[in-house]
Structure formats: structure tokens, C-alpha cells
């Protein structure tokens, strides 16, 4: 019961971060859930609980999304998905935990530095493939999208909407891939079902903050939280 309540709280934090900053759900939930259960279970639970969040956000914010960009990214993500599924199935747990921590730290570095990448057709295609790999391998597939959308100069609402639209597509692919490779188990489904009510609650809280708090300020708060999340994953490695 303690584990399930902790999972509820972790998913709540992730949903709030996603609603306000436009990213952060998996980056918050996966490392923290991995400290409670195993990293493979953490990736699947995060995907199961976060899928509804991204679909609802994509529908509600559809007028602000850049749909051609989201479709191109989701399409090329399909090319990287098999590689990510192979990593998830074959990599040792310690290696997965290390990868999760590195990806989270990489996201913090990208956002904090304001790094930009080439956003032409080839550049976005490469981002999409990397998103596909990370979707299946670690669930923490936001960092390349953060850099790409920052380079495209999206305002906070367009950023959030296009992010959700992209994740709606990659989320379907990820869940199908997890089911097809036998990564969905009874324990992960039970944990996801208990934590699921935290998603609309967290989105509601985050939406209220989105209209009251400077997004740049909250983004910095999210980044500090992500450092703690990555620290948790690294602490798990040390133990």
C-alpha cells in the first residue's frame, strides 16, 4: 500500500510539471518510480499513466499545436522504436537506471543552456528517431523535443500543445511495443491503475498554475526537481 501511495504522489508531481512547463512527466516519474520498483516497470507505468494525459492535452490544445511537425516527429520515431524495445528487453537493470539518469541530466543541461539544434527536415528526422529510441528504452523522450521546439521559437502554449500532440502519437507506439514484447505485467498494470487518478488531478492543479505563475520561473523549478530526480536514480545505482 505504501508503494502504491508513493506511485500516486510521483504521478501527481509529473502531471503538474507537464501541465505547467509542457514537459517533465516521464522525466519526473520514471527515475522516481524506478527507485520504488524496477526500471522496466517504471517505464511501463509511466507510459500507461501518461498516455491519457498527452491525448487529452493534445485534443484540448489542438488549436495551438503545430500538427505537421508533430506528425513528422511521430512518424520518424517509429524507426527508432525497435532499437529502444531491444534495449529495454536486454539491458541490465543497472544500465537502464544509469541511462535514465543520464537522459534526465541531459534534459536539464539542454533546457538550462538554451541549446539549439538544426530544425530542417534532416534535423527533425534525427530528433524523431531519437525520440522513438528513448520512448521505448527509458520513457524519458522529452529532451530532444525540448531542444527542437526551443530552436523553433515556440511560445509556451504552442510548445505545450505540440509536445502533447507528438507524445500522443509516440505513446500509442510505445504501448503497442511494450505489449508486443511482454513488458506489461499484472503488477505494473495494478500500480498504473492506482496512480491513474493522479493524472487529471495533477493536470488541473498544473493548469491553474500555468495561468498564474510565470512559465519561465516554473520551468526553473521543474529543472531543479529534475536534478533531484536524476540524483535519486544515481543513488539507486550506488546502492
What are the start-end ranges of the H helices in the chain?
2-21, 25-36, 39-60, 67-90, 93-113, 121-137, 143-151, 156-180, 186-195, 198-210, 215-238
Identify the CA nearest to 87 among candidates 127, 136, 126, 130: 136
pLDDT tens-digit profile, the chain (239 residues): 788 999 999 999 888 887 777 667 888 898 889 888 889 999 999 999 988 888 888 898 899 999 999 999 999 999 999 999 999 999 998 888 888 888 777 777 766 776 666 677 888 899 999 999 999 998 888 778 877 887 888 887 888 889 889 999 999 999 999 999 999 999 999 999 999 999 999 988 887 877 777 766 766 776 776 677 677 666 666 65
Question: How far from the centroid of its chain's Cα atoms is residue 33's Cα?
Answer: 13
Q: Does the predicted TM-score (pTM) go above 0.75?
A: yes
What is the pLDDT at residue 232? 66
> What are the backbone dihedrals phi and psi of residue 179, each rounded to the nearest 5 degrees, phi first?
-65, -40
CA–CA distance from 203 to each of 8, 25, 30, 158, 209 (Å)? 14, 11, 18, 17, 10
Distance between CA atoms of 144 and 71, rounded to whole angstroms? 16
Query: What's the domain range around 176?
Result: 2-238
Total number of domains constituting the chain: 1
Q: Is 57 helix (H, G, I), strand (E, B) or coil?
A: helix
Distance between CA atoms of 154 and 66, rounded to whole angstroms? 10
Amino acid at each position: 500500500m505504501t508503494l502504491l501511495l508513493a506511485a500516486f504522489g510521483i504521478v501527481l508531481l509529473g502531471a503538474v510539471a507537464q501541465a505547467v512547463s509542457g514537459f517533465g512527466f516521464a522525466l519526473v516519474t520514471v527515475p522516481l518510480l524506478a527507485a520504488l520498483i524496477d526500471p522496466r516497470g517504471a517505464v511501463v507505468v509511466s507510459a500507461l499513466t501518461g498516455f491519457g494525459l498527452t491525448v487529452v492535452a493534445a485534443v484540448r490544445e489542438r488549436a495551438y499545436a503545430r500538427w505537421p511537425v508533430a506528425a513528422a516527429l511521430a512518424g520518424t520515431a517509429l524507426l527508432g522504436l525497435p532499437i529502444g524495445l531491444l534495449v529495454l528487453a536486454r539491458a541490465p537493470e543497472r544500465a537502464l537506471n544509469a541511462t535514465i539518469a543520464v537522459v534526465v541530466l541531459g534534459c536539464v543541461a539542454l533546457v538550462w543552456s538554451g541549446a539549439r539544434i538544426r530544425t530542417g527536415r534532416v534535423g527533425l528526422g534525427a530528433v524523431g528517431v531519437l525520440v522513438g529510441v528513448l520512448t521505448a528504452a527509458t520513457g524519458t523522450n522529452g529532451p530532444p523535443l525540448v531542444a527542437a521546439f526551443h530552436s523553433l521559437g515556440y511560445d509556451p502554449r504552442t510548445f505545450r500543445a505540440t509536445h502533447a500532440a507528438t507524445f500522443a502519437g509516440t505513446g500509442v507506439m510505445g504501448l503497442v511495443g511494450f505489449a508486443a514484447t511482454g513488458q506489461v505485467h499484472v503488477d505494473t498494470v495494478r500500480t498504473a491503475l492506482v496512480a491513474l487518478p493522479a493524472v487529471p488531478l495533477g493536470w488541473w492543479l498544473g493548469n491553474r498554475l500555468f495561468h498564474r505563475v510565470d512559465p519561465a520561473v516554473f520551468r526553473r523549478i521543474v529543472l531543479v526537481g529534475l536534478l533531484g530526480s536524476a540524483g535519486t536514480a544515481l543513488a539507486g545505482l550506488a546502492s
